[in-house]
Structure 1
Amino acid sequence: MESFFVEAVNAIWWIVVVGIIGVGYHAYGGAVVEQWRMRRYLRKQGVKGPPPSIFNGNVSEMKRVQSETIHYSGDNIISHDYSSSLFPYFEHWRKQYGRVYTYSTGLKQHLYINHPEMVKELTQINTLNVGRITHVTKRLEPILGNGVITSNGSHWAHQRRIMAHEFTHDKIKGMIGSMVDSAMQMLSKWEEMVERGGQMGCEIRVDEDFKDVSADVISRVCFGNSFFKGKKIISMINDLSTAITRRSFLFRLNGFTEMVFGSKKHSDVNTNELEKALESSIWETVKERESECVETHKKDLLQLILDGAMRSCDGNLWDKSAYKRFVVDNCKSILVAGHESTAVSVSWCIMLLALNPNWQIRIRDEILSSCKNGIPDAETIPNLKTVTMVIQETMRLYPPTPIVGREAFTDIRLGNLVVPKGVCIWNLIPALHRDPEIWGEDANEFKPERFSEGIFRACKYPQSYMPFGFGPRICLGKNLAMMEAKVLVSLIVSKFSFTLSPTYQHSPNHKLLVEPQHGVVIRIVRQ
């Protein structure tokens, strides 16, 4: 009797195991066939690419090419062309297959496009037919939520309508005073350090200070308070970002284990706890701001967005939990985008100016002739053409986000190419920004004068300049980021002269953004 029971249990166990394997194989096999169909459809239209393996596509080859690449070694040889170091597989395949090719990461088929005309076509597609790549946004959800940066379809369009109105150029001009106040605190600290250093000045690692200033600015603009109150939130975001971006999402394996057992996004308990604490802190701060605004009638960016959200409620899309989700998600988006990207861009700008002191002189002359006491304001910022050119050239060489991805939610046409539903489309922005056919033979050089007549005359294909993305989904914070960068660069150059420190190691590193891995260290003296 006992042996019969054991045999029955074993039989049931094997039936369950075989059943699970059968279901998984059926689902996985269907997904593999679908990827094969997409790839075959693209190949029939002339789009080639590396042959994938059944289980992990081209992930193994991507990792192999990456491991064989010689990275920046800190030998102080500064090259602005970092694409072949950070994304060597894209360059490796481009040499074999051209500007347009296809590759796979398990159960995701990808299309790489760096042809300017096709990029232009992509910017003009109805944005509800294409959107953010879903497996990437799911991974980044703990730090970005499902706000205007990451959402898709009608949910994205609804959020965009609410928020776009609050990021207009005229409204951003009203924030310049807060930007100056935040920057002056940093500059006062630098002046004390320089004074202690005497005639030789001193060395400063500026990228960390820029992050503090950007955090202060976005806290003032968004929450109406100082950096100290938002420090806890931004610290949580940084910790969460470090945990989530430990592995490149470009190597993400969308295969059998993930399909059966789900994404591992929430497998790390510490990450889950950080995410919950972050959202709790944001919501508490929001509720405090609501009370303050009722008492003082002061309207900061957050309150204006909340007002817009309330006015748009129709009872179907919104309830209390959805309203809270909207607020928390978009606060995440604003804090992440407004904090990190501007600080990183200004860091690269100061590095380039340290290498090119003649442009420091040109900026300084412009500021002294345009700005009272060397301090920019809403009236004088539009006159700072040289500052604008330098920042635009910095963002050409070091765009804040190096890769833009879109997913086709239906079959779409790009020129003569029909892209099947489900394909992920990638643009490597640094490659477009350094293409000699678009920018000329000096594409890898720092030459701000190329923007002297504006973006549309700077290159052969203006749509190929996309430091803030492109099309209807262009970064909402573009005006805010540009204004803050102009204020910071103007104030720094008007007060100081600087060169790169001999200890500086040029090593661009990709996480969410392309950042200076070892920081930006300059030797600085009073002007």
Structure 2
Amino acid sequence: MDCFVLVTSSLVSLLLLYGVARLSYSIWLKPKWQERLLKHQGIGGRPYTLLVGDMKEFVKQITEAWSKPIDLTHQIVPRVDPFTLDNVQQYGRQASSFIFIFPLLPIQVLKQVSQTLSSSVFNSGKISFCWAGTRPRVIIKDPELVKEVLANKQGHFQKPPLSPLILILSRGLTTLEGEQWSKRRRMINPVFHLEKLKGMIPVFAVSCGQMIEQWKKMTSLQSSCEIDVWPELQKLTADAISRTAFGSSYEEGKKIFELQKELITLTLEAMQSLYIPGFRFIPTRKNQRRKKLDKDITSILRNVIRRKEHGMRTGQARSDDLLGMLLQHNNQYALLENASGAGGMAIEDIVEECKQFYLAGQETTASWLTWAITVLALHPEWQETAREEVLKVCGKELDYEAISHLKIVTMILYEVLRLYPPVIALYQHTNKDTKIKEISLPAGVDITLPILLLNHDPGLWGDDAQEFKPERFSEGVSKASKDQLAFFPFGWGPRTCIGQNFAMLEAKVALVMILQHFSFKLSPSYSHAPYTVMTLQPQHGAHIILHQI
């Protein structure tokens, strides 16, 4: 018996020692090793703080920046993303600091190394790092390196590990990796082909027309009124995605959107609090509400999909909305792949893609349009120029042919997208040890590609980078900046946003119809306060004065 107790206690001690060793490695030894590896390559960054990383400093900086509005300027980076800007400025060291790693090299070699590195990505804050908890986050502000990461030729980059709290919103295309992602992308690509999307223009026009009529009623008494366009354009894009995704079932689509919006709010609230593993399973009031919302959304979508499938089989339902096209192509894909056993998407997968329609397509377009209206209210000369083009090219009608010839409107939308990108950064993660150019990155490192900082960089856009100058896009996106990859609002490479044509068509239709019926200027009550809640939003709304034309 004594021997048994001794063996048992020894095993328990070994297990405890193993657990302590693993914990020590994950929360201290591994981060310190990664920090040393990055710094030995000349990459500057904040020193690691046990467990919390830079969270405290991040919260402090954004809390201070978001506490007050800014002047009417497009120089919004210090307010929107102060932490990343500060990190890049403070730790993007000059290449000469790299020399101290080789103190014993001959002076001739030191000079050569210095000259080589002075023109490298280590100069001018092109690369630095900070800490996302126990993981280092490398911030890359060099377009060539951005291209390397997004091209992902070796397959060593993927999305950062997603919290289960995020995955409750959707497990659609953007959350998948590897072969699972490739297969799903091939199946969904035809749905978003431009030729298919052209048929969505009348649907966009119906949604916009309803909003226009409401605005006309509001301005009918005095021919003008003040409105906050941010919630108005959120309603518009929610209605548009409901109609284009679900066709005749769009009322149920709007119900799904309302439930999903509440779920997003509860999810963001949970993510901003201290993360405790397993806490989401505790039956608190908010955890139970999140679970019920997810169940209700899934149930409604499953019923809509089943009715749609039955209607298409019996010829009673059209297949020209997003869901109809998705089901149609899924069936075709299943028939083609049946011999190999691959098959198409299950109904659960289609449910998740329907959730993704809202997450990816609604809030981003609403943000884009809100900033377009705000910027044009601030620049009436460009508003009038755009209106003249719209009336000349489109008149009072809308079709794809006319929309495709709107050069000035397109330039304006791109310039707004540059200054006020709905998504201010893209995020990647190294799943294996890898290299980009001369930089070695170990597995388990997060990568930030700061779209907002790149879009406002004078080195890429010139000394007028903070100014609204749509003419910089007069010869297209590729010639707008000093580097072709300085502008990637929809991503780049194999994972370019599948819905970019959809978003561009919707934004053009909405802006055209607003310009056809109204002129607008900023309200005296407008407060310039862009900030991020998943997308770039006006913190205190976007109040404008509408004048009916």
Q: TM-score, normalization: structure 1?
A: 0.89
1:303 aligns with 324
RMSD of aligned alpha carbons: 2.9
1:39-76 CA-to-partner distances (Å, cap 9, x unmatched) read 22222222221111223222233233334x343624x7
CA distance in 1, matches of 2:262, 2:11: 41
Please, which runs of 5 or more residues in structure 1 have no aligned partner?
1-10
Call closer, same or farther: CA 1:524–1:63 in 2, change over 3 Å: closer
2:483 aligns with 461
1:337-369 CA-to-partner distances (Å, cap 9, x unmatched) read 121111111011000011111112111111121
2:268 aligns with 245
1:81 aligns with 75
Report the residue type matching 2:266 in the other structure: A
Q: 232-241 vs 21-30, which deviates more?
A: 21-30
The reply to whether residue 280 of structure 1 matches residue 299 of structure 2 is yes
Call closer, same or farther: CA 1:104–1:15 in 2, change over 3 Å: farther
Equivalent residues in 2 for 1:153-168 (5 A)?
Answer: 153-168=178-193
Call closer, same or farther: CA 1:162–1:64 in 2, change over 3 Å: same
Call closer, same or farther: CA 1:122–1:172 in 2, change over 3 Å: same
Q: 388-397 vs 336-345, which deviates more?
A: 336-345
Please, which runs of 5 or more residues in structure 2 have no aligned partner?
1-5, 93-125
1:294-330 CA-to-partner distances (Å, cap 9, x unmatched) read 233521221222233334445787689x712211111
Decide which of 141, 149, 165 is 1:114's aligned counterpart: 141
In structure 1, the residue corresponding to 2:475 is in which secondary structure? Answer: coil
CA distance in 2, matches of 1:346, 1:191: 19
2:399 aligns with 377
The reply to whether residue 27 of structure 1 matches residue 22 of structure 2 is yes
In structure 1, the residue corresponding to 2:400 is in which secondary structure? Answer: coil
CA distance in 1, matches of 2:274, 2:186: 32
CA distance in 2, matches of 1:134, 1:290: 34
Report the residue type matching 2:548 in the other structure: R
1:400 aligns with 422
Q: CA deviation at 1:144?
A: 2.3
2:130 aligns with 103
1:368 aligns with 391
Q: CA deviation at 1:151?
A: 1.0
2:450 aligns with 428
Q: CA deviation at 1:235?
A: 0.6
Equivalent residues in 2 for 1:40-189 (5 A)?
Answer: 40-67=36-63, 69-71=64-66, 73-74=68-69, 77-98=71-92, 99-126=126-153, 128-136=155-163, 138-145=164-171, 147-189=172-214
CA distance in 2, matches of 1:247, 1:94: 29
CA distance in 2, matches of 1:518, 1:178: 30
In structure 2, the residue corresponding to 1:104 is in which secondary structure? Answer: strand
Q: 125-134 vs 89-98, which deviates more?
A: 125-134
Call closer, same or farther: CA 1:333–1:135 in 2, change over 3 Å: same
> For the Cα contact (< 8 Å) 1:127–1:472, is it kept in 2?
no
> For the Cα contact (< 8 Å) 1:105–1:252, is it kept in 2?
no
Equivalent residues in 2 for 1:263-274 (5 A)?
Answer: 268-274=287-293
> For the Cα contact (< 8 Å) 1:47–1:100, is it kept in 2?
yes
In structure 1, the residue corresponding to 2:515 is in which secondary structure? Answer: helix
CA distance in 1, matches of 2:84, 2:519: 39
Call closer, same or farther: CA 1:19–1:265 in 2, change over 3 Å: farther
2:32 aligns with 36
Report the residue type matching 1:345 in the other structure: W
Q: CA deviation at 1:389?
A: 0.6
Q: CA deviation at 1:266?
A: 9.3
In structure 2, the residue corresponding to 1:290 is in which secondary structure? Answer: helix
CA distance in 2, matches of 1:231, 1:239: 13
The reply to whether residue 233 of structure 1 matches residue 228 of structure 2 is no
1:7 aligns with none
Call closer, same or farther: CA 1:154–1:252 in 2, change over 3 Å: farther
Report the residue type matching 1:291 in the other structure: H
> For the Cα contact (< 8 Å) 1:49–1:102, is it kept in 2?
yes
In structure 2, the residue corresponding to 1:47 is in which secondary structure? Answer: coil
Call closer, same or farther: CA 1:417–1:172 in 2, change over 3 Å: same
In structure 1, the residue corresponding to 2:32 is in which secondary structure? Answer: helix
Q: CA deviation at 1:22?
A: 4.7
The reply to whether residue 439 of structure 1 matches residue 464 of structure 2 is no
Q: 453-462 vs 503-512, which deviates more?
A: 503-512
Q: TM-score, normalization: structure 2?
A: 0.85
CA distance in 1, matches of 2:12, 2:256: 45
Q: 266-275 vs 356-365, which deviates more?
A: 266-275
Report the residue type matching 1:451 in the other structure: F
> For the Cα contact (< 8 Å) 1:248–1:511, is it kept in 2?
no
Call closer, same or farther: CA 1:248–1:276 in 2, change over 3 Å: closer
Report the residue type matching 1:78 in the other structure: L
Equivalent residues in 2 for 1:293-372 (5 A)?
Answer: 293-294=312-313, 295-296=315-316, 298-299=318-319, 300-313=321-334, 323-372=346-395
In structure 2, the residue corresponding to 1:144 is in which secondary structure? Answer: coil
In structure 2, the residue corresponding to 1:134 is in which secondary structure? Answer: coil
Q: 414-423 vs 482-491, which deviates more?
A: 414-423
Q: CA deviation at 1:248?
A: 6.3
Q: CA deviation at 1:227?
A: 4.2
Q: 499-508 vs 25-34, which deviates more?
A: 25-34
Call closer, same or farther: CA 1:458–1:222 in 2, change over 3 Å: same
Call closer, same or farther: CA 1:311–1:227 in 2, change over 3 Å: closer
Q: CA deviation at 1:505?
A: 1.5
CA distance in 1, matches of 2:45, 2:247: 51
